[in-house]
């Protein structure tokens, strides 16, 4: 009987030891789960922070690009206005030059007409004189 008692005590000790080991394993599992959860939460927070930083940087870059595009557009407008002014000035000078040429051409045309009419008058006189000379001979 003593043997049975010893065996029972050993079995009981093993059961207690087994419960203690299970309890320790469960506690370690709980601790591990808690640490994994904490690490996951930290990673989520870091990812969120990084995403927010990236969004802010992207927004800044977009704003800089918009500002540069606006500045470039303004520069182009200014250059186009300057170009238009130069072209208009040149056209004005050309129009003045053509107007002067028209006046000169008109005066030349009038002179040619005058000379042509005088030439015709002289030819008529010469013909008349030639006829008079023939009639005298």
Q: Is the dihedral of CA 59, 61, 64, 66 positive or negative?
A: negative
Tens of pLDDT, residues 40-62: 999 999 999 999 999 999 999 99
Check whether 123 has a pLDDT greater than 90.
yes
Per-residue confidence band for 99, with pLDDT thresholds at 50, 70 and 90: very high
Check whether 117 has a pLDDT greater than 90.
yes
Angle at 126 between CA 125 and CA 129, to 5 degrees: 85
Mean pLDDT of 19-48: 95
Determine the pLDDT at residue 1. 66
Check whether 108 has a pLDDT greater than 80.
yes
Per-residue confidence band for 2, with pLDDT thresholds at 50, 70 and 90: confident
Instruction: Write down the pTM of the prediction.
Output: 0.50
Longest dimension (CA), the chain: 194
For 16, the token pair is 């207690």
Instruction: State the Cα–Cα distance between residues 55 and 108, nearest whole angstrom.
Output: 78
């Amino acid at each position: 009987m003593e043997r049975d008692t010893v065996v029972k005590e050993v079995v009981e000790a093993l059961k207690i030891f087994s419960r203690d080991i299970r309890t320790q394993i469960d506690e370690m599992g709980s601790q591990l789960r808690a640490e994994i959860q904490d690490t996951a939460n930290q990673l989520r927070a870091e990812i969120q922070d990084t995403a927010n930083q990236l969004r802010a940087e992207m927004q800044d870059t977009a704003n800089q690009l918009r500002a540069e595009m606006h500045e470039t557009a303004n520069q182009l407008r200014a250059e186009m206005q300057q170009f238009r002014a130069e072209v208009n000035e040149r056209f004005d000078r050309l129009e003045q030059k053509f107007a002067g040429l028209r006046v000169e051409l008109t005066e030349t045309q009038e002179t040619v007409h005058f000379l042509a009419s005088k030439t015709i008058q002289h030819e008529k006189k010469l013909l008349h004189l030639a006829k008079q000379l023939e009639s005298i001979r």
